[in-house]
Amino acid sequence: MNERYSRQELFRPIGKEGQNKIRQKSVLIVGAGALGAASAESLTRAGVKRIVLVDRDYVDWTNLQRQQLYTENDAKQQLPKVIAAKNRLAEINSEVEIQAHVMDMGIEEAEELIKGINLILDATDNFETRLLINDLSQKYKVPWIYGACVGSYGISYTIIPGQGPCLNCFINKIPAYNQTCDTAGIIAPAVQMVTAYQTAEALKILVEDFQGVRRKIVTFDLWENQHVQLGMEKAKKEDCPSCGKNPTYPHLEKNAALKTAVLCGRDTVQIRPSFNREIDLKEMEQRLSPHGKVRRNLYLLELQNGSRRLVLFKDGRALVHGTKDAAEAKSLYHRFLG
């Protein structure tokens, strides 16, 4: 067991001192899908003290192509992803404490989970949660690493409170790519590339080598052979409500979350996004047509997906028919709209 981390310790920027620091650190990973599973495995092998995993979903057959911790047996049992991940990670490294939370992380849950955490890894599928993570990071001075991938495209950026802009400063400047794995598909190499960027940055932060942290946002498209790094220093806003001179952390307020309401007397949940978004209904029709029967007029679009019917309006508001479960409705909304 004493040789377990020897090759990592031989890497000079880490060494024995850095490994000792890694062994004292706790990481919160929000999402246990493709990115979350891969990052959790890498950090478990690296020997962190504790990993806190949060995810609301269970293992599905469509996950197995890219979500590396899960097996056919997990899909057969429909195990919650964090439980399946915990079982596998315990076999990889029994020294690491794995805490698994089957939940849709909201504001109250986030405020509890952040306690004792040294780093947050983003493995989510929507900007509502990312903006929550961003404000959580700024309020409690905990670094976080943004990451996303779809198709053959990926993006990553490291945010350290007090150093440079936060996500809220430049969210409108992020290269537009608002498709999802359910609408555009995904290849496993894109997942592995984002994971490599995220976990490399994670190790730098865990050994406290902040000078080595990459200060640029990186985007790539493996199929199109594109790779771009963008400096974000000028994106910093002094009046940013999340990281400016007088922060209010708006995405930690109760009215900041995606708003859901079960409509009285109807088997329907209404969803309103937490920030304004303009939907191109014609483009959305093309994107969603492989996933069910789609109808569109000048004002709205309707998707029939199994027993659920989603009606989407131009302003991003949606009605999810066929359920009274707000969590299920939100999951469907994020699945198709990102």
| pLDDT tens per residue across span 297-336 | 887 888 998 888 888 888 888 888 988 888 888 888 888 8
Task: Identify residue 160 by its one-letter amino acid code.
Answer: I
Spatial separation of the C-alpha atoms in residues 262 and 300, rounded to whole Å: 20
pLDDT > 90 in the chain, percent? 64
Alpha helices in 208-324 (DSSP H): 281-288
Query: Is 177's pLDDT higher than 60?
Result: no
Residue 188: pLDDT band (50, 70, 90) is very high
**Tokens matching residue 238:** 């002094």
Question: What pLDDT, on the 0 to 100 scale, is given for residue 280?
Answer: 87
For the chain, the first-to-last Cα distance in angstroms comes to 43
The pTM (predicted TM-score) of the whole model is 0.81
Closest CA to 52 of 147, 137, 121, 5: 121
Spatial separation of the C-alpha atoms in residues 83 and 86, rounded to whole Å: 5
Spatial separation of the C-alpha atoms in residues 268 and 309, rounded to whole Å: 9
Mean pLDDT across 56-76: 92
Closest CA to 89 of 63, 64, 114, 70: 70
How many CA within 13 A on the CB side of residue 308?
A: 20
Spatial separation of the C-alpha atoms in residues 320 and 307, rounded to whole Å: 10
Mean pLDDT across 235-260: 86
Query: Is 1's pLDDT higher than 80?
Result: no
Question: What pLDDT, on the 0 to 100 scale, is given for residue 173?
Answer: 58
Domains observed in the chain: 6-252 (3.40.50.720), 258-337 (3.30.310)
Tell me which residue has tokens 């690491």: 96
Query: 320 φ, ψ to 5°?
Result: -105, 110
Task: Identify residue 180 by its one-letter amino acid code.
Answer: T
Sequence-distant (6+) residues with CB within 8 A of 71 are: 64, 84
Which neighbouring-strand residues pair with 259? 272
Spatial separation of the C-alpha atoms in residues 279 and 18, rounded to whole Å: 47
Closest CA to 177 of 154, 197, 157: 154
